[in-house]
Structure 1
Amino acid sequence: MLIHPTAERLRGLGLNAMAQAFTELLGVSEAAALSREDWLGLLVDREATSRENSRLARRLREARLRQAAVIEDTDFRTPRGLDRAMFLRLAGCGWIREHSHVVITGPTGVGKSWLACALGHKACREGYSVLYKRAPRLFADLATARGEGRLPRMMAAIERTRLLIIDDWGPEPLSAEQRRDLLEIVDDRYDRGSLLITSQVPANRWHDLVGDLTLGDAIVDRIIHRAHRIELKGASLRQRQAGNDALTDKAGE
């Protein structure tokens, strides 16, 4: 059998994972008992898995998630108002398919950003494009793009993204330019994409963040009326962990 030429031909066709699997199977004595259909199935499965892993790695790289958070590591034991059933439903990403939004509010340190990144990671695993931006960085990038004449291109890229995560919005009110940019982003999401917004400011005070009554109604209503809301409460998880570490250190003295 022409072992190496066949593997090289597969690589020449861009089927690198299939070529690697082909070479490995030839070195396994048990593989001789496999039917041609089983051989082909194993080779195709290896190539398909490799390509999906590559696509996932690219989506995660482009998402730029701030934290390495995954749904499976979610803490449901600490009391902070996180409804397990609701969060796991959101992890199914049906809300993204329906072009709905998610709003996560609560005080500092209760895990808003972590939960947002976990949902973003799951969206990448489900095949959706994701972009994570802290609110101050998003508006700074938009201002820079405007000054450099790149704003339409940047807005088009954001519009093509299925899930835009805006983390840590507030508490400073928006400027006139920021209000217009946010309204355009929210409008572009309608029936085409989803938003996930986290904020220390309760949603019923978001009109104050916008800083303009008319635009506040236009922006906030477009988000809230299609949003699943998670309202967290309680003490900072970071402070709680620091306290636990201190108790552990004291117990070890």
Structure 2
Amino acid sequence: MPEVISPELRQTLRRLKLSPILDTLPERLQLARQQKLPYQDFMELVLTDEVARRDRIGGDLRARAAHLDMSMRLEVWDEATPVTFDRQLWNELCSLRFLDEPAGVLILGPVGVGKTMLANCLGHVACRRRRSVLFSRAD
């Protein structure tokens, strides 16, 4: 049975600029009833959904502003690609620790080895972690 959201609650969420919560609220209410969640746990679940949604949107906006290619993300990396690189160095770069130091990252190599893909992937990682970046090609 789908949950009915009152007009008053809808209006309150709109006034608080939380109306996107309405997208998942019926599902979360049903889950809370089924699992007999305490009110605090239910509230945490609903607000965590909203934080995740805002983080996702913010990351996408930062990525667009950085001129990153939206199709070049770690999630779409094909592990079967014959491109090789130092995985330990890559993991260190993805930690973004270099951003807290007076250092930058320059990715060099011959044509066709995946430099652009790696740079875009790294930019997307930074954007998802609420950092601002700018992607630029040297060619």
User: Fold-level match, TM-score > 0.5?
Assistant: yes
Tell me the distance in 1 between the aligned counterparts of 2:39 and 2:94. 39
Calculate percent identity across the aligned residue pairs: 30
- Deviation string, structure 1 residues 31-54 (Cα, Å, up to 9, x no partner): 322221122112211211111111
Which residue does the alignment assign to 1:103?
A: 106
Structure 2 unaligned regions, length at least 5? none
Which residue does the alignment assign to 1:131?
A: 134
SS in 1 for 2:40: helix
Q: Which amino acid aligns with 1:31?
A: A
Q: Which amino acid aligns with 2:103?
A: S
Greater Rg by CA: 1
| Alignment length (residue pairs) | 133
Which residue does the alignment assign to 2:124?
A: 121
* Higher normalized contact order (CA 8 Å, seq sep 6+, divided by chain length): 2
| 1:68 counterpart = 2:38 | no
Tell me the distance in 2 between the aligned counterparts of 1:78 and 1:168. 24
1:86 to partner: Cα distance = 0.9
1:61 to partner: Cα distance = 1.3
Q: Which has the higher strand share?
A: 1
Q: Which amino acid aligns with 1:107?
A: P
Measured at CA, do residues 130 and 100 of structure 1 come closer, stay the same or move farther in structure 2, by a change above 3 Å? same
Measured at CA, do residues 92 and 20 of structure 1 come closer, stay the same or move farther in structure 2, by a change above 3 Å? same
Tell me the distance in 2 between the aligned counterparts of 1:19 and 1:90. 38
Report the RMSD for the aligned CA atoms in angstroms: 2.6
Task: Please report the TM-score for the alignment, with normalisation by the length of structure 2.
Answer: 0.78
Which residue does the alignment assign to 2:32?
A: 31
Which of 92, 97, 117 does residue 89 from structure 1 map onto? 92
SS in 1 for 2:135: strand
Tell me the distance in 2 between the aligned counterparts of 1:7 and 1:85. 49
Measured at CA, do residues 67 and 50 of structure 1 come closer, stay the same or move farther in structure 2, by a change above 3 Å? closer
Which residue does the alignment assign to 1:58?
A: 61
| 1:46 counterpart = 2:49 | yes
Q: Which amino acid aligns with 1:35?
A: P
Where in structure 2 are the equivalents of 1:1-253 lying within 5 Å? 3-26=6-29, 28=30, 30-32=31-33, 33-66=36-69, 68-71=71-74, 73=77, 78=82, 82-133=85-136, 167-168=137-138
SS in 1 for 2:24: helix
